[in-house]
Amino acid sequence: MGVPFVGLTGGLGAGKSTALAALERLGAATISTDAVVHELYRSPDVVAAVVGRWGDGVAPGGVVDRAAIAERVFSDPGERAWLEQLIWPLVGRRVAEWREEVARRTPPPVAGVVETPLLFEAGLEGAYDATIAVVAPEEVRARRAAARGHAAVDERAARQLPQEEKARRATFVVVNDGTEEDLARKLSDVLAKLGDP
C-alpha cells in the first residue's frame, strides 16, 4: 500500500487546524482545502469570474473580498451553487496534484492528510482511505469560537452536519478536549492504526 490518504474534518471550533498542524509535526504531509481556496481567490481567472458575476465590489483593486462573496452566496442557493461549481473542481484538481506529489516523496510521509471542512456534506469521503473527525464538547467549541470573535457555534448556518453526525461517519474520531499535547498523542495513535494492515 502507498501513502494512506486521509480526510480530516470536524465541527466548528473543534480544532481541525490545530489537528492538521499536529499531524504535520507527526510526519504526515498536509494540505488545507481552505488554504487552497484562499490561493485560488488570488488567481486571475477566478478574480475575473467573480467580478464578471458580481461586479468590482467583490474584488476591490483586483483582490477578492471573501466577506463580500460570502454575503452574495450565503442566502442565495443559486449563487452559492455557481460559486461551488467554479471553485470545487479547481480545489479537486489542486488536491489531486498534491496527492501525486506526496506519493512520489522519499522517504514517504506516514500519511497524506487533507483538511476538508465539508468532507461528508460534499460526499467526498469515498476519495480517502480513511477519515478523521475532530470533535470537542460544546462549551469548549463555544469558548474557541468566542476567542476568534465568532458568535455561537452554529453548524446549520455554515451548512455543516452536526459534529455528532461527522463522528458517526468517520473512520476515526478524536476528541479534542485537552491540551495540544493530548491531541497530538491521540492523533499519533490514529496514524499508528493507519499503518496497520
Residue 158: other Cβ atoms inside 10 A: 14
Q: What is the pLDDT along the chain (197 residues), one digit of tens a residue?
A: 589 999 999 887 888 999 999 999 999 999 999 899 999 999 999 999 999 999 999 999 888 998 899 888 888 889 989 998 999 899 999 999 999 999 999 999 999 999 998 888 888 889 899 999 999 888 887 777 777 666 555 544 556 778 889 999 999 999 999 899 999 999 999 999 987 65
Residues 6+ apart with CB under 8 A from 138: 153
Under DSSP, the state recorded for 127 is G
Looking up cell 467549541 gives 141
Residues 6+ apart with CB under 8 A from 194: 4, 6, 110, 111, 129, 130
Helix (H, G, I), strand (E, B) or coil at 31: strand
Residues 6+ apart with CB under 8 A from 72: 54, 58, 79
